[in-house]
Amino acid sequence: MAVDLSMPVLVVDDYSTMIRIIRNLLKQLGFENID
């Protein structure tokens, strides 16, 4: 499956732990972290 790494992704969740997990997964896929 091709992933467009220039595509913006917004992660929103009530729990900071879940946000951290998703951010780490996206980083492993090659996305940049911009706060």
Residue-level pLDDT at 31: 94
Q: What is the full DSSP assignment across 1-35?
A: ----TTS------S-HHHHHHHHHHHHHHT-----
Residue of 22, 21, 18 whose CA lies nearest to 9: 22
Query: Tens digit of pLDDT for each residue in 1-35?
Result: 788 999 999 999 999 999 999 999 999 999 998 87
Q: Distance (Å, rounded) from C-alpha 23 to C-alpha 9?
A: 10
* 19 contacts: CB under 8 Å, gap ≥ 6: 11, 12, 13
- What is the pLDDT, as a whole number, of residue 1? 72
**Whole-structure pTM value:** 0.77
